[in-house]
Amino acid sequence: AALSYTWGAPVFDHHVICDGRRLAITAHLDAALRRFRTTTWLMLWVDALCIDQTNIPERNYQVSIMKHIYSQALRTFVYLGEPSLFDGEALKLMMSLTQLAQFLDKSSLSELQDMQLLDVAASRARDAFIGFLELWKAGFPGAG
């Protein structure tokens, strides 16, 4: 298995035991490892732990093969952070935009002439976007 996660601030104030060694890690990696912790044994590839970050040639090489590492993993865990009140609205927005893009991609010019279908898809995307912006502004007073 492999773990993909946001690095967050480069502050190494958390620790993990790996191969009997105590290694300093970031708060984001600590949160990701805790999120996917299991009671069974799991071999997990984590870039910050599996790549010597101080060895620039090794790091560059490993980064160049990360696509292969993730594509060959039997399972990939993705951690973008802890849930927030924006997640639901952001997900609705992404789904609406995806549906709109799929509609446009699959539609021929003659189908697009039936603008009613396009209007429905665009309206759903607009409503989702407005809902997301309203939550964003409410949560971040300076965001508007």
Q: pLDDT per residue over 54-90, tens digit each?
A: 899 999 999 899 889 998 998 888 888 777 666 777 7
Three-state DSSP at 74 gives coil
CB-based contact 130:84 (threshold 8 Å): no
Q: What is the pLDDT along the chain (144 residues), one digit of tens a residue?
A: 899 888 888 899 999 998 899 999 999 999 999 988 876 777 889 988 988 888 999 999 998 998 899 989 988 888 887 776 667 777 777 777 777 777 666 666 566 556 666 677 777 777 777 776 776 666 654 444
List b or e across 117-142, with b for residues whose CB sees 16 or more CB atoms inside 10 angstroms: ebeebeebbeebeebbeebeeeeeee
Give the residue ranges of DSSP H helices in the chain. 27-35, 47-50, 56-64, 66-72, 87-106, 109-112, 115-139
